[in-house]
Structure 1
């Protein structure tokens, strides 16, 4: 009967190796993150290809992922020509890439998740390093001394997003010390190329609520090199969140 053929055919196309490997990959991915609301893994390729360690295409879709304190609202990945150590995986070993893996990605970071990520150690370390690099003179003057990044901590960090503009504020304090300085910055961000993100019209704000501040003209056009493994095609900042689309290459562990 036609109705039974339409339901059975997709099942017949999905071989036993895929039925074993997809849940195994889901379990492994869940073990790599602190929490995840939903996780879908889809493998393409016949059992013979998969048993050779070659997967023509891998699609991954997740929602509400927390990784090292970073809250990611939604991630969609599409990897092609994945080559893995399938023989070792079937023996219970961990998955390992055998060749570089190009991945098309789409990442959504909604505003509440972006603010929650501000408290992660990974994010705080990156922000403190960026602040010292961008406005280190102002921070040193306010603190009355030069303080290494490992002795600084961000208190009450806050992020406000608007069209293509980021406003960040926090209290930058010396660990186990009494000195602190309020920090408030506003800047637009733009892609100068697939590997380069630059500041546009950065300002030092007198208070977090200030609509206008002191232009940081020396930082106009200051760029961050994202590295050759990253190729961003789109970066959108809106009141709802941050949205990124592009490609990255995952390298095998040496």
Structure 2
């Protein structure tokens, strides 16, 4: 016995055609609501982005319930808290949002913490542009304080008292080098030059390997920087033309604008 052929659009009952058409329209409508909401939420987290493409992977029922099994984001020329990134890719899974409020004109909000896979790249120009950010200045100042605690001979003047007024960094093959311009009212300005390897000690710890002050006759030392439990880095590549990193980060459900 020959099995009957599946119904074609020409042979579908009118009720079925109507239901499929309604489902398709509802899906398109949900995409039109959620995609701009996600775009607005992402742009609210950054100071700027030249390009931002969003892809949603979800069925009709999932969209209606505010459940997004897959969200992919590609962006270029992103500025996040003063950090400049040439290229950024994000992929999040099993995301739940406040869809009921979104359709009433409220801002999108994450309902639970999400771990997002991220790939980013910043070139030498991005790195230099990022040095003026509060985030980078704070990180460099913390680095100086760690060095001071490890070896108080490093400066002979108390590095922990110095703020980073300016800095220049350059990238090499697996290493970073640069100059710190330091300043305090008591001691005046001072410049210190360093060179160091930079690797991953583990998924949430950066390691400055063989960190060396070029002006001082001190042995190289290793410095571990804990990035916190919300970071899970997989790869870090440093070349003269830029820095590339891949891993996962936790996004707090409170990280939104109300």
- Where on the TM-score scale, by shorter chain, does this alignment land: which range? 0.7 to 0.9
**Residue 194 of structure 1: which of 176, 189, 203 is its match?**
203
Correspondence for 2:156: 141
**Does residue 116 of structure 1 match 2:129?**
yes
When normalised by structure 1's length, the TM-score is 0.82
**Does residue 154 of structure 1 match 2:134?**
no
Q: Deviations over 1:120-155 (max 9, x none)?
A: 12211221121122146357624xx67646xx2422
- Alignment: residue pair count: 229
Structure 2 unmatched ranges of 5 or more = 1-23
Cα distance in 2 for partners of 1:117, 1:98 equals 31
**Does residue 230 of structure 1 match 2:231?**
yes
Q: 1:105 to 1:188 in 2, by over 3 A?
A: same
Greater alpha carbon shift after TM alignment, 60-69 vs 192-201: 192-201
Q: 1:23 to 1:252 in 2, by over 3 A?
A: closer
**Residue 180 of structure 1: which of 173, 183, 189 is its match?**
189
Higher Rg: 2
When normalised by structure 2's length, the TM-score is 0.80
Alignment of 1:19-168 (within 5 A): 19-135=32-148, 137-138=152-153, 141-142=156-157, 148=161, 152-155=163-166, 157-168=167-178
Aligned-pair CA distance for 1:242: 0.6
Aligned-pair CA distance for 1:251: 3.0
Task: Report the secondary structure of 1:112's partner residue.
Answer: helix
Aligned-pair CA distance for 1:159: 0.6
Q: 1:75 to 1:204 in 2, by over 3 A?
A: same
Correspondence for 1:4: none
